[in-house]
Amino acid sequence: MKFAVLVFPGSNCDADLYHAIEGVYHETAEYVPYTATSLAGFDAVLVPGGFSYGDYLRSGAIAKLAPIMTAVKAFADEGKPVVGICNGFQILTELGLLPGALLPNRQTHFICDTAALNVVNTNTMFTNQYQDNEQIKLPIAHGEGNYYCDAEMLAQLKTHHQIAFSYQTDVNGSLANIAGITNEAGNVLGMMPHPERAVETLLGSADGKRLFASLIATIRNGVQQPC
Residues carrying an active site annotation? 86, 194, 196
Asked if 169 and 117 touch (Cβ cutoff 8 Å), the reply is no
Please give the Cα distance from 117 to 112 (Å, whole number).
Answer: 15
Please give the Cα distance from 160 to 182 (Å, whole number).
Answer: 10
Please give the Cα distance from 106 to 108 (Å, whole number).
Answer: 5
Please give the Cα distance from 96 to 98 (Å, whole number).
Answer: 5
Asked if 79 and 126 touch (Cβ cutoff 8 Å), the reply is no
